[in-house]
Amino acid sequence: MNNENIQAPFFVINPKTFLIGNELLDLARYANCLAKQYHVTLLFTAPHPELGNIVRECPNLIVTAQHMDSILPGDSMGHISAHSLVYVGVQAVVLNHADHPMTLTAIAKAIERAKEVGLLTIVCADSVPEAQAIAMLGPNVILAEPTELIGHNQKSDRLYVTSTIEKIKKVNPDILVEQGAGIRSENDVTEFLELGADGVGVTSGIVKANKPKEMMEKMIQAVASFQEKRK
Amino acid sequence: MNNENIQAPFFVINPKTFLIGNELLDLARYANCLAKQYHVTLLFTAPHPELGNIVRECPNLIVTAQHMDSILPGDSMGHISAHSLVYVGVQAVVLNHADHPMTLTAIAKAIERAKEVGLLTIVCADSVPEAQAIAMLGPNVILAEPTELIGHNQKSDRLYVTSTIEKIKKVNPDILVEQGAGIRSENDVTEFLELGADGVGVTSGIVKANKPKEMMEKMIQAVASFQEKRK
Amino acid sequence: MNNENIQAPFFVINPKTFLIGNELLDLARYANCLAKQYHVTLLFTAPHPELGNIVRECPNLIVTAQHMDSILPGDSMGHISAHSLVYVGVQAVVLNHADHPMTLTAIAKAIERAKEVGLLTIVCADSVPEAQAIAMLGPNVILAEPTELIGHNQKSDRLYVTSTIEKIKKVNPDILVEQGAGIRSENDVTEFLELGADGVGVTSGIVKANKPKEMMEKMIQAVASFQEKRK
Amino acid sequence: MNNENIQAPFFVINPKTFLIGNELLDLARYANCLAKQYHVTLLFTAPHPELGNIVRECPNLIVTAQHMDSILPGDSMGHISAHSLVYVGVQAVVLNHADHPMTLTAIAKAIERAKEVGLLTIVCADSVPEAQAIAMLGPNVILAEPTELIGHNQKSDRLYVTSTIEKIKKVNPDILVEQGAGIRSENDVTEFLELGADGVGVTSGIVKANKPKEMMEKMIQAVASFQEKRK
């Protein structure tokens, strides 16, 4: 697997642990239909124990783990290995999320492991220098999101969005840039894509919406429209 | 779920990450047959992404997670919640393994979460004072294992075994005590049970045996014989 | 050193990192005078690099480190060893503070190290079960403080205070119990001592007071009065 | 403070925790004399509680902390702040040593804090990509050292040495590169400097030498000779 597997513009649905069990599976199934209907690249994250279930039922989603450790198979216990993820059909993994910050060494090794087994990597960055540092490690995607905005209504400002994109591409133009903070509507999705983001990721904007499925669909439609126009 | 669900003498197969994917599932299926054949309480641990698969195929095993965090559902990402584990059918969880040491606060909270959702807790202890400290937190099982012996051929000495059992039961007689280090044969299993262990756990003794399945069966037979005699 | 070195009622001034450098030294010097004037056992905590300075100038204070690791001298780097602390004249150490939670194993080992070199240990606990677990490890003092109240104006409620004291003493009557949360005045100090606390610890109540030195003096007077009455 | 304060070639004496107390101070005093005698830039690391003592007695050394956290003064406890270090006269700090790995975010923030207060930063890197990632964060010095060689007799191979230097300078030519692993003699020092290292750091090579002071002097002489030749 390589960058060809993920096509910009892409959309990431990241329910974190707001939804668990049947509620999560239900949202995933709906996303699975939308992926097919709108021909949009959709990544869908889930807690580790539930990944296999979603893979089985949602062939149109790039099912994504919310964290991975850099361990190799062997005498280690309680950590998440790339091999287990691949075995259950996971295709991508988020690393270094603000809720699970990793040491620099662990990020570097986890990206290495992921490449060995063909997992896509989405590595979270807070500041611009951190984003550039991560770019040096060669992940597939960098999710640029100012930590202090996560979970809040405020969007990343336009300067943050454009400068993270520019600075990351300058280090390595092959890395895709996802923007995340504070997306609350389909208009926000369009705005970020027009500013140059390769992808957009949403948590609260969907799970805390009055009608999560409807909001998710509108956002995905926005991605599809942007995709259409760009052709 | 409560202590009635776990019956001494019990046997814990803990392949850590030595086995992954089909190899792990294959061993689990065999253990599942042995649990039925020998009427022995078997716990079987697995990495988080693979737990659901094993639950589905192995109804006679108490499928056990190799770690759990103390998070509640909500705005957290990359950690293992009790709710996801229960959703996929997991019945027990190992906490504070030497490969994933937890803060005291996290152990206390994880035990609380586990009780809320009906997960059995197996908490690892190194020294006798640590075992007694953990006993105060009221887990179902304490796995007493001197950290420096994990993964080696040397068994815990008899004094360690008897004194951890005695000291734990003195704090709380309802807690079951599992012994783990250096079990390499069915005779080791019998020895530990005769010294008073409620259960015995094995990793290397099985996964590094010449014939893992045969060795596992001999060890389970040893548990069954001990069970029989004790009646 | 042993429990004889710390005499109830004692008072702990814990400026955390609110005060640094000359401001911290200035408060320490004043506390040093008060310790002599009021014949009260005073512990004074400071960041690691500044401990030596305070020891040199404040012979009447039990100078206390804000954290310690469980390392032995040798091939380790960047961690705080008991031996370095003792070398610069530190007499006590706080372990497992909510800002620096430790694994259970690290707490157990750090207490061991501290005993070997004669450092007093003050171990922080959040809930009652955690306090009892820590009691099993035999520290000199347990600081019982509900994590959610740290840094806030709300005091621990009377039931928390009396039940932590009772439950800790039940495990080991030699352990002294310090209460900490939300002490804002000399009356709070008296109240906690009358409820049975062996010692009282204050951060915000002093560093955020309008006149920190005056407030510190009033609180120490309250300890002295209580001490007098109890004779 | 800035890069002008550290002049290549420089030499780092890093006793970790092999030496503590008077033994450490004794070695530092000797290094202090050698710094003056040979006009060589010497950095000398020490555990946090002992830094102040060494600063007071050794004005010719760049006294260096073995770790620092990214905290700001305020409601934090048990961590090392830049402000405390500067207050006691420390001039440099090692970050992300293999014994105390830091999250990427913490490294980025600690470098920021250090710059604010004028501390030199020496950030450890394991692999080449990690070294380049760190270079993006703009530290003063990168210590390139393959983690698996730390504490062993094997030196970094010549290719590792030259490629880390080249790759770091390519990202940012102002960053000085220190090489560390396996230096056991004055010849090793010369070899690494001739390969292009701006500085060389030693632990075991000195503390485990038969005559640590003599070996330290020989190594410093090697730096002085190299310096002389280069003029």
Query: CA torsion sign, A220 to A221 to A223 to A224?
Result: positive
A58 CA: distance to closest CA in chain D (Å) = 34
- Secondary structure letter of residue C102 according to DSSP: -
**Token pair of C83 as six digits:** 């031996």
Residue A2, pLDDT score? 43
Rounded to whole angstroms, how far apart are CA atoms B51 and B85? 8
Alpha-helical segments (H) within chain A: 22-38, 51-57, 82-87, 104-117, 128-135, 158-171, 186-194, 204-207, 212-230
Cβ–Cβ below 8 Å for B48 and A52: no
- Interatomic CA distance for residues C48 and D49, integer angstroms: 5
First to last CA, chain A: 25
Which residues of D form the catalytic set?
Answer: 97, 145
Reported residue count of chain A is 231
**Percent of chain D's residues with pLDDT above 90:** 85
Chain center to CA of C198: 11
- Distance, in Å, from the CA atom of D200 to the CA atom of D187, rounded to the nearest integer, reads 12
pLDDT computed for residue D66 by the predictor: 98
C-alpha distance from residue C127 to each of A114, B112, C147, C156 (Å): 40, 12, 8, 11
pLDDT at C153: 65
Provide the shortest C-alpha distance from residue A225 to chain B (in Å).
Answer: 30
Partner-chain contact A101 D103, CB within 8 Å: yes
Which residue from A186, A68, A187, A53 is spatially nearest to A120, judged by alpha carbons? A68
Residue C152 tokens read as 């806030």
C with A: 3 or more CB pairs under 8 Å? no
> Taking 50 as the threshold, does the pLDDT of residue D3 lie above it?
no
Residues 101-160 of B with CB under 8 A from C: 101-108, 126-127, 129-130, 132-138, 147
Q: Which pTM does this prediction carry?
A: 0.95
- From chain A, pick out residues whose CB is under 8 angstroms from the CB of D144: none
Whether C74 has a pLDDT exceeding 80, the answer reads yes
A90-146 residue pLDDT tens: 999 999 999 999 999 999 999 999 999 999 999 999 999 999 999 999 999 999 988
pLDDT higher at C46 or C146: C46
Provide the pLDDT confidence category of residue B5 given band limits of 50, 70 and 90. Answer: low
User: Rounded CA gap, C71 and D67, in Å?
Assistant: 15
Residues from chain B that touch A84, judged by Cβ atoms under 8 A, are 17, 20-21, 47-50
Q: Which of C98, C133, C137 sits opposite B137 (nearest CB)?
A: C133
pLDDT greater than 60 at residue A3:
no
Number of C to D CB contacts under 8 A, please give it: 140
Q: What pLDDT score does B151 carry?
A: 63
The pLDDT value given to residue B147: 73
Residue B74: per-residue pLDDT: 87
User: Can you give the pLDDT at residue B2?
Assistant: 43
Q: Which of C94 and C231 is assigned the larger pLDDT?
A: C94
Pairing of strands D62-65, D92-95: parallel
Per-residue pLDDT for D155 more than 60? yes
The whole-number pLDDT of residue A149 equals 66
* Spatial distance between the Cα atoms of D87 and B103, rounded to a whole number of angstroms: 32
Given pLDDT bands bounded at 50, 70 and 90, which one contains residue A216?
A: very high
Q: Please give the mean pLDDT across all residues of chain D.
A: 93
Work out how many domains chain D is built from and give that number: 1
CATH number, domain with residue A133: 3.20.20.70
User: Tell me, what's the pLDDT at D150?
Assistant: 62
Whether pLDDT at C204 is above 60: yes
Query: Which chains reach chain B with 3 or more Cβ–Cβ distances below 8 angstroms?
Result: A, C
Q: How far is C33 from chain B (nearest CA, A)?
A: 37
The shortest C-alpha distance from D228 to chain C (Å) reads 33
Q: Token match 């008060």: residue? A: C34
Nearest to A136 among D101, D126, D133 (CB): D133
In Å, what is the CA distance from D33 to each residue of D17, D36, D39? Answer: 22, 5, 10
Contact partners for chain C, using 3 or more CB pairs closer than 8 A, are B, D
Nearest neighbour of A104 by CB, restricted to D130, D138, D171: D130
| A107/D106 Cβ within 8 A | no
What mean pLDDT is reported for chain C? 93
- Whole-number percent of chain A with pLDDT over 70: 95
Asked if D105 lies within 8 A of A171 by C-beta distance, the reply is: no
* CB-CB contact of D154 with D182 (8 Å): yes
d(CA A113, CA C164): 47
Q: Is D173 exposed, middle or buried (0-12, 13-18, 19+ CB in 10 A)?
A: exposed
Facing D17 at nearest CB: one of C53, C71, C97:
C71
Taking contacts as CB-CB distances below 8 angstroms, the residues of chain A near B76 are 16-17, 99
Confidence of residue C5 (pLDDT cuts 50, 70, 90): low
Reply yes or no on whether the pLDDT at D78 is more than 80: yes
Digit-coded pLDDT (tens) for D14-33? 999 999 999 999 999 999 99
E strand or H helix at D204: helix D204-207
Smallest CA–CA distance, residue A106 to chain D, in Å, is 9
Q: How far apart are the first and last CA of chain C?
A: 25
SS3 at position A24? helix
Tell me which residue in D45, D48, D74 faces C49 most closely, judged by beta carbons.
Answer: D48
Q: Is the ipTM here above 0.90?
A: yes
Q: By the 8 A CB rule, do B44 and B13 touch?
A: yes
A102: which chain D residues are within 8 Å (Cβ-Cβ)? 103-104
Of A101, A106, A171, the CB nearest to D105: A101
Q: What is the pLDDT of residue C1?
A: 38
Residue in chain B nearest C101 by alpha carbon: B103
Q: Do the chains contact at D97 and C84, CB–CB below 8 Å? A: no
Closest chain C residue by Cα to residue B134: C133
Q: How far apart, in whole angstroms, are the C-alpha atoms of residue C129 and residue C147? A: 14
**pLDDT surpasses 90 at A213:** yes
Quote the minimal CA–CA distance from D40 to chain A in Å. Answer: 32
- Asked if D175 has any chain A CB less than 8 Å from its own CB, the reply is no
Q: What integer is the mean pLDDT of A58-68? A: 98
Reported as a single tens digit per residue, the pLDDT across B36-80 is 999 999 999 999 999 999 999 999 999 999 999 999 888 799 999
Structural domain including A36 reads 3-230
Which pLDDT tens digit goes with each residue over D102-147? 999 999 999 999 999 999 999 999 999 999 999 999 999 999 988 7
Q: Do D53 and C88 touch (CB under 8 A)?
A: yes
Interface size A-B, in CB pairs within 8 Å, comes to: 140
Residue A153 — pLDDT band, cuts 50, 70, 90? low
Q: Which amino acid is at B67?
A: H
With CA atoms as reference, the chain A residue closest to D133 would be A133
Subunit contact B77:A100, Cβ cutoff 8 A: yes
Three-state secondary structure of chain B = CCHHHCCCCEEEECCCECCCCHHHHHHHHHHHHHHHHHCCEEEEEECHHHHHHHHHHCCCCEEEECCCCCCCCECCCCCCCHHHHHHCCCCEEEECCCCCCCEHHHHHHHHHHHHHHCCEEEEEECCHHHHHHHHCCCCCEEEECCHHHCCCCCCCCHHHHHHHHHHHHHHCCCCEEEECCCCCCHHHHHHHHHCCCCEEEECHHHHCCCCHHHHHHHHHHHHHHHHHHHC
* Distance (Å) from the alpha carbon of A228 to chain B's nearest alpha carbon: 33
What's the pLDDT tens digit per position in B136-176? 999 999 999 887 666 666 777 888 899 999 999 999 999 99
Which residue out of A39, A48, A67, A97 is catalytically annotated? A97
Residue B49 makes CB contacts below 8 A (sequence gap 6+) with: A48, A49, A51, A52, A65, A80, A84, A85, A87, A88, A90
pLDDT interval class at C2 (50, 70, 90) = very low
Please tell me which of the candidates C51, C74, C77 has its beta carbon nearest to residue D49.
C51
- State percent of chain A over pLDDT 90: 85
